[in-house]
Chain A
Amino acid sequence: MDRFSWSNGLLEINETLVIQQRGVRLYDGDDKVQFHHPLAQVFNTVIKTCAKIVIHLHPSPANKEPGPYQNSKFSHIKLSFKEHGQIEFYRRLTEEMTQKRWENTPVSQPISTGTGPQAGRIRAVGIVGIERKIEEKRKETDKNISEAFEDLSKLMVKAKEMVELSRSIANKIKDKQGDITEDEVRIPLTVRYSKTCIKLILLHSRHGHLALIEFPELIEFRFFFLTDLLPPSFSSFFSPHVSWLACRLRVFDSGVMVVQLQSHSEEEMIASALDNVTEKGSLTAEEFAKLLGLSVLLSKERLLLAEKMGHLCRDDSVEGLRFYPNCF
């Protein structure tokens, strides 16, 4: 039986990556397969390879693309785990087998990979290779975008929560009539900023979280999807009192992107970094993050920015990266 099929290594539309394991050798029945993949992957719709656990398989569907072994006397395949990991692999595999998640997807061809036998691990060079890479990239992008739109619904839910939050804050301030205690120092900032908001921003992080607010200053996320073309229904979630933040996108040299308040000045940011470092003598991104109550990632970007402007310099030692006032 023809057990294996070629794949280009990318996930098909209804597949998700369940587990990856390095150093796995494939066996067609008891025969060692000529080549071994650096990675064996189990997808929820496709079992490409299995463990040193013997796996008996149903006959392949008639329309299966021909694989590397078009004839085999075996009805099972084997995997050997050269770099361990078989326990977890087995656990995830049985889990998938029990849940049968693939049955909940519209895919009717569990083995079909959608690519011909000429694809897969064969390395292509020249224009063909380049074209293939472009195509793979395009597929990846398509996938990301469709995922992002799926998350729009989640965003709606989050947005509602934000409205509630803002309302409660507004009420709280109204009740207290400006009498804000020390630990609530962030609240008026929130309100003040929210009154200046004019733009809508849709954020999408890779993990489906919406890292929307890191008051008082920044909204931070690593991967994001930004669009000005929000459906009109989106804005209806917000009461007239809760306007949006006036923001701009800032891409740091490292590639980290943040959405910044327009009222937020870079000069102030640099000055504050310099002040803090001067006061403490030197600071790591972690220490600076604690001082500001910001994330480490963002704190580091600020320190780097101040360094870039020539206000700080670095000490990169085994103890980590530490910033000093630029005394040179």
Chain B
Amino acid sequence: MSFEWPWQYNFPPFFTLQPNADTRQKQLAAWCSLVLSYCRHHKLYTVDVMEAQESPVFNNKKIERKLSVEAIQVVFEELRKKGNLEWLDKNKSRCLVMWRRPEEWGKLIYQWVSKNGMNNSVFTLYELSNGDDTDGEEFHGLEDWMLQRSLQALQTEGKAEIITMDDGKGVKFF
């Protein structure tokens, strides 16, 4: 299934940061939504700002428009404010893009556990993200850091407990 671009993607002003505050707000909202859905489609978790500039998301070759690095930073900062992005370094050159926030992932995992009646069972993290049982689930293949965050979120809610096992980490669901 190929990625479906939003209409804005072919609208040249989309690639110029709008000076009008209201317009800019709508523009940024569209950008945030595009970045998240693009990352989700391609299962991207970490993004390098310099590389991002050359990626099709920010560089529409068809209409010959590309979003400047400064504007990309603005979009990313907006995503950060919304809780969908975290910078990996002080220079803000690399970031984690969370097209689902950890709580949302946690919820998905917990739903799967409940559905299959596996409450009170213990899983290794590897089983959850790469095991045969979860094949086909959305969280299958989830990167380790994100999986841990999701489980931490569940733990905070009292729905799981992360336990340390011999060969790594595991989790018990309640």
Binding site for B on A (CB under 8 A): 282, 307-308, 310, 313-317, 322, 324, 326-328
Residues of B within 8 A of A328 (CB): 8, 13, 18, 23, 26-27, 30
Known: A315-B65, A328-B27, A328-B30. A308 touches B20 (CB 8 A): yes
Smallest CB gap from A318: residue in B: B64
> Is there contact, CB below 8 Å, between B65 and A317?
yes
> Is there contact, CB below 8 Å, between A314 and B19?
yes
> Is there contact, CB below 8 Å, between B22 and A313?
no
Known: A327-B11, A328-B30. A317 touches B20 (CB 8 A): no
Distance in angstroms from A325 CB to nearest chain B CB is: 9
Residues of A within 8 A of B64 (CB): 317
Interface residue? B16 (CB, 8 A): yes
> Is there contact, CB below 8 Å, between B20 and A313?
yes
Pick 29 A–B contacts, CB within 8 A, sort by A. A282-B12, A307-B20, A307-B23, A308-B20, A310-B22, A313-B13, A313-B16, A313-B27, A314-B13, A314-B18, A315-B12, A315-B16, A315-B65, A316-B16, A317-B12, A317-B15, A317-B65, A322-B12, A324-B11, A326-B20, A326-B23, A327-B7, A327-B8, A328-B8, A328-B13, A328-B18, A328-B23, A328-B26, A328-B27
Known: A313-B27, A315-B65. 18 other contacts (CB 8 A): A308-B20, A310-B20, A310-B22, A313-B13, A313-B18, A314-B13, A314-B19, A316-B16, A317-B16, A317-B65, A322-B12, A326-B20, A326-B23, A327-B7, A327-B13, A328-B8, A328-B26, A328-B27
- State the total of A-B contacts with C-beta under 8 angstroms: 46
Residues of A within 8 A of B11 (CB): 324, 327
Distance in angstroms from A301 CB to nearest chain B CB is: 14
Residues of A within 8 A of B26 (CB): 328
Smallest CB gap from B22: residue in A: A310
A313 to B12, CA, bound (A): 10
A31 to B131, CA, bound (A): 87
Residues of B within 8 A of A310 (CB): 20, 22-23
Smallest CB gap from B12: residue in A: A315
A69 to B15, CA, bound (A): 59
A315 to B19, CA, bound (A): 11
Residues of A within 8 A of B7 (CB): 327
A317 to B22, CA, bound (A): 21
Distance in angstroms from B147 CB to nearest chain A CB is: 36
Chain B residues 4-34 with CB under 8 Å of chain A are 7-8, 11-13, 15-16, 18-20, 22-23, 26-27, 30
Distance in angstroms from B83 CB to nearest chain A CB is: 23
A307 to B23, CA, bound (A): 9
A308 to B64, CA, bound (A): 26
Residues of B within 8 A of A327 (CB): 7-8, 11, 13
Pick from B7, B16, B22 the residue with the most CB of A within 10 Å: B16
A265 to B12, CA, bound (A): 30
Pick from A282, A310, A317, A328 the residue with the most CB of B within 10 Å: A328
A310 to B23, CA, bound (A): 7
Pick from B11, B18, B27, B64 the residue with the most CB of A within 10 Å: B18
A154 to B168, CA, bound (A): 91
